[in-house]
Structures are given as C-alpha cells and as structure tokens.
C-alpha cells in the first residue's frame, strides 16, 4: 500500500511541476512588418532570430511598442489604437497585470501589416482582440481592418504557427497526466 501511495505522490508532483509558472516575466516576439516585401516579421524568421526579437512582456514594453508605432510612417495614424491604458482602469492596482503575447494581421489602406508584441491577457471583462477590432472599426471604418488577432500566454508563443500548437499542448497536459496517473495507480 505504501508503494502505491509513493507512485501516486510522484505522479502528482510531476503534474504540478508541469503546470506551475516559475514566475519569470513572459517573453514575446516583437516586430513590425509593413508591406509584402518585409520579411523581418515573418514567423519562421522571427523564431530563428536567436532571441533578437524577444522582449520581456510588461506594461513598459507595451508603451515602448506604442512609441515605435508612432514613429512608423504607415502606422502612426493608427497608433492611438495601441495606447496603453492605466492598469487601474481594468485591474486591481495591488495585483500584477496579467500579460499575453499577440500576433496581429492588419490591412492599413493597401498595406498588409503584421505586428507581434506583448498585450494584456484576456480576462472575463477584457478581450484585447475585440477591443482592437472595435477601436479600429469605430475610428477608421473601412480604411483599416483586422484580418487576424491571436493571443497566447506562454513564452514566445506568438511566432510562426506556434500559437496553435502551444495551446493544444497546454490543453492536453492535464489529460495525459491524468491518464498516466490512472495507469500507474492501477498497476500498483
């Protein structure tokens, strides 16, 4: 009986270790690509850039990205959409603002735009992709549109097609761990 308890405890520790966030800041890819001839924000190139395009995700990096948009001749007109609200408007001031990575596909006039950066995480009351779509629709009508908006909450998940695969991986970890624990429990 004691051996069975040790196996279950070991499996429980493994599951917890796989799901705990160590507490480091979230890392996201950050880049801006305007037009079809710009490759520096292409998913495969960003992922293979050896960390050149990786940022620590927090409100100050969001403000810095907003400043970069203001300096871009094509994107300066829509930079107000990405202005950083005060966290006290949305989150309790005593808690750390939850962060996520985002990949946005936009059409600004005739230009295709890809933005990869950091964003506040989606919550029950805050849905960043919907807020972005609503602001763009309200302020720019038919001159700017959001073609895609993908948010994810694991390190460097906004590069290439990793958004879908990382989400699937995180979704199935508890399922596989439960099945594994059940097999070990029955074998004991």
pLDDT, tens digit, 9 for 90 and up, residues 104-122? 999 999 988 999 999 999 9
What does pTM read for this prediction? 0.67
Domain ranges of the chain: 2-187
Question: Rounded mean pLDDT of 49-71?
Answer: 88
- Convert the pLDDT of each residue in 62-82 to its tens digit: 999 999 999 998 899 999 988
How do beta strands 27-29 and 111-120 pair? unpaired
- SS3 assignment, position 23: coil
Q: Under a CB-based contact definition with an 8 Å cutoff, are residues 46 and 159 in contact? A: yes
């Amino acid at each position: 009986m004691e051996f069975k308890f040790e196996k279950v405890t070991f499996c429980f520790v493994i599951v917890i270790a796989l799901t705990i966030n160590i507490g480091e800041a979230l890392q996201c890819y950050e880049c801006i690509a305007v037009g079809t001839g710009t490759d520096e924000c292409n998913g495969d190139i960003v992922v293979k850039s050896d960390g050149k395009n990786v940022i620590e995700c927090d409100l100050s990096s969001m403000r810095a990205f907003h400043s970069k948009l203001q300096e871009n001749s094509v994107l300066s007109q829509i930079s107000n959409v990405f202005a950083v609200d005060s966290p006290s408007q949305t989150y309790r001031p005593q808690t750390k603002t939850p962060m996520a990575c985002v990949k946005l596909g936009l059409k600004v006039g005739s230009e295709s735009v890809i933005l990869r950066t950091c964003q506040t995480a989606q919550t029950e009351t805050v849905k960043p992709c919907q807020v972005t779509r609503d602001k763009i629709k309200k302020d720019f009508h038919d001159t700017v549109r959001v073609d895609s908006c993908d948010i994810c909450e694991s390190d460097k998940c906004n590069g290439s097609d990793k958004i879908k695969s990382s989400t699937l991986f995180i979704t199935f970890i508890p399922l596989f761990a439960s099945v594994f624990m059940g097999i070990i429990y029955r074998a004991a």
